Structure 1
Amino acid sequence: MAFAVTHPGVTSAIIGPRTIEHLDDLLAGATVTLDDEILDRIDGIVPPGTDPGPLDVAYNPPAVTRTSQRRRSADERAAA
């Protein structure tokens, strides 16, 4: 949840829990705020622009190349 809502292009995170335990975990994640160090580590594991769909490898959107379009500012990340 925290990773999904960090991206400025994401206006909502759709959840689909199958059990109450899944729902509890997802709701707990909504209060987590990721800092730049964690986000950089995630980018190191799956670099921005990594496309699991090989047919789309030629397209490199601005949200991949510009950090400001991949992350909300730190003060905007806190759960509301």
Structure 2
Amino acid sequence: MTSAIIGPRTMEQLDDLLAGAEVTLSDEILDQIDQIVPPGTDVGTLDQAHLPPALRSPLLRRRPVGDRTAA
């Protein structure tokens, strides 16, 4: 059996990835992303019958701005 292990291979790659934890996206940016790829869009062939609550209610999709960074 084989499997792919994904992730950074160097410290530089790890540092670049960790820097992303400090990024906070504004509601305006998130709205623009939602316009490009609407919430719940699935390009796979998974079962489409289940629609999670966060996709049914926009209020459940986003945490408050102050809670969005990984601290």
TM-score when normalising by structure 2: 0.73
Aligned counterpart, 1:59: 50
Amino acid at match of 1:51: D
| Deviation at residue 27 of structure 1 after TM alignment | 0.9
Unaligned runs of 5+ residues in structure 2 are: 1-5
Aligned counterpart, 1:35: 26
Instruction: Determine if contact 2:53/2:60 at 8 Å carries over to the other structure.
Output: yes
Aligned residues: 66
Runs of 4+ aligned residues of structure 1 deviating over 6 Å after TM superposition are none
Find the aligned partners of 1:79 and 1:64 in 2 and give their Cα distance: 22
Find the aligned partners of 1:44 and 1:55 in 2 and give their Cα distance: 22
**Which residue of the other structure, out of 2, 11, 19, is the alignment partner of 1:20?**
11
Find the aligned partners of 2:12 and 2:36 in 1 and give their Cα distance: 28
Find the aligned partners of 1:41 and 1:19 in 2 and give their Cα distance: 33
RMSD: 1.9
Deviates more, 1:55-64 or 1:41-50: 55-64
Unaligned runs of 5+ residues in structure 1 are: 1-14
TM-score when normalising by structure 1: 0.67
Find the aligned partners of 2:52 and 2:69 in 1 and give their Cα distance: 26
Find the aligned partners of 2:46 and 2:68 in 1 and give their Cα distance: 33
Amino acid at match of 1:65: R
Aligned counterpart, 1:75: 66
